[in-house]
């Protein structure tokens, strides 16, 4: 035995109690009870029949989620960022150009990914509390003639929602593919991939789907599929859609092993889709809209101000709120966590020091949660005023 060679000491990993806060930040969100249960289902191996029939169910769930009849749909083993990396590197070759519509932090990540992969980039921006007009996008498409346009639907760093309708037609007029981040909008805000002619889209399990992070639906249009099939460049191995399509049986019964999917995450996503199928998309959109309208009305009645000036630009799932001069955003969030066990976040990227970010989505999109958050925010504002101003 090599026992005497064991020189690194045994780590001390003690039992630990975790008090779960109410997760009302821009993600992760709390889990559906059915998802929590699904996480302990048996492990599936990547070569058994059950496994492949569950993947078929997930693909049907993803088609419903994005509203697409496209064949090239599957879920990646990774958080939302894996979707970003996949759609960019599979659809834009090194040396080709990606036009990035920039207003928050996620488009900056897209820029970073593109640069690492040798993709040329052009950026068009708006202020962080605004969204893009079709005119601005068309002007840039005409000027740049890019291979693809990247745009974020719901931006959780700024609390804005970009209108996607109309962008598909514009992009195709200039021979451009339309790539959309729907990580924090899907299931909470209407999104219609085929109808809006989106070519590459990804989301994540951990936001309005109320699942754990780590399994991320992606979908590609027929136009995008053609580009993938004709391409001569190699995307990263782990995110190669051609290989993943063979594992997920996108084109018939290929059943090829590519990597081992996490069984708990596969079961969890399946449970999120069962919840969505029970409620249906239109009802889910309606619930989110109704609860957030109530949340906003109460915030206004209590004298809170929104960062985003135009109501139609405000994202339903994540609200950005400014505080009166003298309040510290980090301290405010910390106080909410310590005194009310509610987790909300301060700003990120362009909204650092400028806003609070509150997520009311998924299982937490209820009147009770909205009321609890407003009540705690009012109490926090009063307490911090007394003690520190």
Ligand X SMILES: *Cc1c(COP(=O)(O)O)cnc(C)c1O
Residues interacting with ligand X, by CB under 6 A?
Answer: 26-27, 79-81, 106, 152, 154-156, 181, 183-184, 204, 206, 213
**Judging by beta carbons within 10 Å of its beta carbon (0-12, 13-18, 19+), is residue 210 exposed, middle or buried?**
buried
Q: Which residues make Cβ contacts (< 8 Å) with residue 272, sequence separation at least 6? A: 32, 35, 205, 209, 210, 211
- At its nearest, how many Å lie between ligand X and the CB of residue 204? 4
**Residue 241 · residue 228 · CB < 8 Å:** yes
- At its nearest, how many Å lie between ligand X and the CB of residue 162? 10
**Residue 295 · residue 370 · CB < 8 Å:** yes
- At its nearest, how many Å lie between ligand X and the CB of residue 89? 16
**Residue 149 · residue 178 · CB < 8 Å:** yes
At 137 the three-state DSSP class reads helix
Nearer to ligand X by Cβ, of 81 and 381: the residue is 81
Nearest residue relative to ligand X (C-beta)? 80
What phi and psi, each to the nearest 5 degrees, are found at residue 123?
-120, 135
Nearer to ligand X by Cβ, of 155 and 313: the residue is 155
Nearer to ligand X by Cβ, of 80 and 350: the residue is 80
**Cα 297 to Cα 310: distance, rounded to the nearest angstrom:** 15
Nearer to ligand X by Cβ, of 181 and 313: the residue is 181
**Cα 174 to Cα 176: distance, rounded to the nearest angstrom:** 5
Nearer to ligand X by Cβ, of 181 and 199: the residue is 181
- At its nearest, how many Å lie between ligand X and the CB of residue 301? 28
Nearer to ligand X by Cβ, of 26 and 146: the residue is 26
**Judging by beta carbons within 10 Å of its beta carbon (0-12, 13-18, 19+), is residue 260 exposed, middle or buried?**
exposed
- At its nearest, how many Å lie between ligand X and the CB of residue 161? 10
- At its nearest, how many Å lie between ligand X and the CB of residue 317? 9
């Amino acid at each position: 035995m090599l026992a005497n060679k064991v020189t690194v000491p045994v780590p001390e990993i003690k039992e630990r109690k975790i008090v779960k806060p109410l997760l009302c930040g821009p993600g992760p969100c709390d889990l559906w009870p059915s998802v929590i249960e699904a996480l302990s289902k048996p492990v599936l191996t990547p070569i058994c029949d059950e496994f492949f029939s569950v993947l078929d169910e997930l693909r049907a769930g993803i088609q419903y989620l994005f509203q697409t009849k496209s064949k090239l749909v599957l879920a990646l083993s990774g958080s939302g960022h894996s979707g970003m990396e996949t759609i960019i590197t599979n659809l834009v070759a090194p040396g080709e150009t990606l036009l990035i519509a920039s207003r928050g932090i996620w488009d900056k990540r897209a820029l970073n990914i593109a640069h690492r992969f040798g993709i040329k980039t052009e950026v068009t921006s708006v202020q962080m509390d605004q969204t893009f007009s079709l005119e601005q996008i068309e002007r840039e498409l005409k000027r740049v003639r890019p291979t693809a346009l990247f745009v974020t639907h719901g931006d959780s760093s700024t609390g804005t929602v970009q209108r996607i309708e109309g962008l598909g037609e514009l992009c195709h007029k200039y021979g451009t593919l339309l790539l959309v981040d729907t990580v924090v909008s899907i299931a909470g805000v209407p999104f219609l991939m085929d109808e809006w002619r989106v070519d590459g889209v990804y989301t994540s399990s951990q936001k309005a789907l109320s699942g754990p992070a780590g399994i991320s639906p992606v979908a590609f249009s027929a136009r995008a599929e053609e580009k993938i099939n004709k391409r001569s460049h190699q995307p990263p191995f782990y995110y190669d859609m051609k290989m993943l399509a063979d594992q997920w049986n996108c084109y018939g019964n290929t059943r090829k092993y590519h990597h081992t999917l996490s069984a708990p995450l596969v079961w969890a996503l399946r449970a999120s889709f069962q919840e969505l199928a029970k409620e249906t998309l239109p009802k889910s959109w309606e619930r989110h809209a109704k609860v957030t309208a109530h949340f906003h009305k109460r915030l206004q009645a209590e004298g809170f101000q929104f960062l985003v000036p135009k109501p139609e630009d405000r994202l339903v799932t994540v609200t950005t709120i400014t505080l009166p001069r003298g309040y510290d955003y980090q301290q405010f969030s910390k106080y909410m966590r310590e005194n009310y066990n509610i987790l909300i976040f301060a700003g990120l990227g362009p909204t650092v020091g400028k806003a609070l970010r509150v997520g009311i989505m998924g299982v937490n999109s209820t009147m009770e949660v909205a009321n609890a958050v407003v009540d705690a925010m009012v109490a926090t504002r009063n307490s911090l005023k007394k003690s520190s101003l």
